[in-house]
Chain A
Amino acid sequence: MSVIEVKNLSKTFKVKIKDKGLKGSLKAIFKPKYKLVKAVKSIDFSVEKGEMVAFIGPNGAGKSTTIKMLTSILYPDKGKIKVMGLDPAKDRKKLAYEIGTMFGQKEQLWTHLSPYDNFKFFGAIFDIPEPVVEKKIKELSMLFELDEFINTPVRNLSLGQRIRCEIVASLIHEPKILFLDEPTIGLDPVVKENIRTLIKRMNKEYKTTIFLTSHDVGDIEKLCKRVIIVNDGQIVLDDSMENLKYHYLNKKIVDAKMKEKINLDDEDGITILKDKGYNLKIEVDITKRSISDALKLLNPDNIIDINISNVPLEDIIANIYKSKK
């Protein structure tokens, strides 16, 4: 069953442009100039119940705009959206009970109150009876390990603790879909890892569908089974993580330091990325040529140091952006 269905969705922003300086300001008051920015250009996709989908793309690709249209924040210009069978533009309140949202850049907690009081407030917003909220808070604070600071005012918490509380706040009403917009932005690697583990655990526990946007390749790689890549307002790839990896990860990067210079040319399955005499970097397509074959070409006796790695996901995505442009 699809919980999210998007068809032909478009959104254009009218952006005022202002020339620099006093003259520009005066001109902008009397004769404003506008520029149309097509943030989302006719996209289609659907998400099944229980999926964890990563919605990724560079800055300004239209991912936030899309997630905001899915959550009623923005009005679409064209196209159809159904989230849990509801139209976000028309059934805002009804939809709000069904979805949870967490925007990494927009905090929703009262900072002078404790997480506990905040959660109770969210309970009231979603009309949840008192005893039910209490139970839910207990359960979630266990899952997200909040016990230590659940009574400390939010402003005294670390960023990582705050983000955990933000996520819990958006789960109080047991949403069927959780939208996470840049959930790990600005966090250090250890905390990021911790948040990811918790999100994963939560998805397992409640079967919540998760729709996530992120810059962070780690978020996507570790969390999601499916990836939708957008660029310039269009979907450039919608595939399983496995497929993405299979297509692009069957290439290996061999980075070798040599005793003697060797002359090597591009041939079937081997691409020279960098050749600086003693330092050599080649890409091996293992569907065409095995690693051991490639090593033979280099002559193992001649190698001082070697490093064989996967192509980083960042590069893969960057390549897809480029090739689809």
Chain B
Amino acid sequence: MRKYLFIFKTQIISNLQYVGNVLIGFIGNFVMLFILFNLWKYLYSDPSELINGYNMFQMTWYVIITELLWMSLGGRKLVGKISEDVITGNVAYNINKPYSYVGYVLATHLGDIFIKSIVLSILFMITGLVFLGGFPSLTLVNVLVIILTMILATVISTLFASSIGLLAFFFENSRSFWWLYSKFILILGTIFPIEFFPGVLQKILSFSPVFVSSYGPAKLFVDFSWSTAWEILLAQLIYLAISYGICEFIYRKGVRKINVNGG
């Protein structure tokens, strides 16, 4: 574990210099939030009106949290980097190293996005405050639980993104899979809470990665209850195991393919 912590720390330090880039990048994020805020304002004729159980205040905060999770993730870059590693054969250098590749990727990427996530969190909170004039009422313990679910959500998403990047072992265009995955999360998980979808789809979504990687933390933020919190944490733990397993499995399969090719 210590070596992963070390990788994580080094990565954080080397990313300190890019804070300026995060600030400029935020302009783009802000615009996205601005558009969605306008959309909700247009949709809600009266801010206290409830649509599928959400008022405008909750709806906007929901989007802010899901967008924050998504923007912090940097998934496209991660998928690009891993598939590049696979295609150029760099991944082979990791085979003989005394660490788990999945652990290495996780530590590097989380270190990579650590600073960015913190800066973005602050900026997104300010944005929400400017748009809506206040936060949902939460206790300190609630906030800590929400942060925990956000971290878990990011870890799970990182593992899924890594798995997709590793698909480059088998498919030339692994980035296309990332597109599909990102569309899936963006359409079904960030703009609307899953309550907005018809019955069957709602059922499916509550078992899908959407529930653990974006809906969960955002739902807790706008409408905290302990029963939902436990439910989400449990689902996240299960998904953590699943996503880790998938990632490790694809990596092992893929590496074997390299060895065969290398003769």
Contacts and interface: CB of A to CB of B under 8 A. Distances in A.
B204 interface: no
Nearest to A28: B20
Provide the main secondary structure of the chain A interface: helix
Contacts of B17: 21-22, 25
Interface in B181-204: none
B16 interface: yes
B138 interface: no
B69 to A, nearest CB: 26
B19 interface: yes
A29 B22 CA distance: 13
A303 interface: no
Contacts of B19: 22, 25-26
Interface string B5-21: 00000000000110110
A27 to B, nearest CB: 11
| Interface size, B (range) | under 10
Contacts of A25: 17, 19-20
Nearest to A21: B17
Contacts of B16: 22
B15 to A, nearest CB: 10
A26 to B, nearest CB: 7
Nearest to A22: B16
A141 B229 CA distance: 74
Contacts of A21: 17
Size band of the interface chain A makes with B: under 10
A29 B19 CA distance: 12
A107 B19 CA distance: 35
Interface in A9-30: 21-22, 25-26, 29
Contacts of A26: 19-20
Contacts of A22: 16-17, 19
Nearest to A20: B17
Nearest to B21: A25
B88 to A, nearest CB: 15
Interface string A50-94: 000000000000000000000000000000000000000000000
A64 to B, nearest CB: 30
A21 B17 CA distance: 6
Nearest to B23: A29
Contacts of B20: 25-26, 29
A83 B125 CA distance: 61
A29 B16 CA distance: 15
Nearest to B24: A29
Interface string B113-124: 000000000000
Nearest to A26: B20
Contacts of A29: 20
A28 to B, nearest CB: 9
Nearest to B19: A22
A211 B17 CA distance: 43
Nearest to A29: B20
A26 B16 CA distance: 11
A29 B18 CA distance: 12
A21 B20 CA distance: 12
A150 B17 CA distance: 48
A25 B20 CA distance: 8
A243 to B, nearest CB: 52
Interface in B1-51: 16-17, 19-20
A229 to B, nearest CB: 41
A25 B16 CA distance: 10
A26 B17 CA distance: 9
A306 B222 CA distance: 91
Interface string A223-236: 00000000000000
Interface string A19-55: 0011001100100000000000000000000000000
Q: Which 4 A-B pairs have the closest CB atoms?
A: A22-B16, A25-B20, A25-B17, A22-B17
10 contacts: A21-B17, A22-B16, A22-B17, A22-B19, A25-B17, A25-B19, A25-B20, A26-B19, A26-B20, A29-B20
Interface of B: 16-17, 19-20
Given A22-B17, A26-B19, 8 more contacts: A21-B17, A22-B16, A22-B19, A25-B17, A25-B19, A25-B20, A26-B20, A29-B20
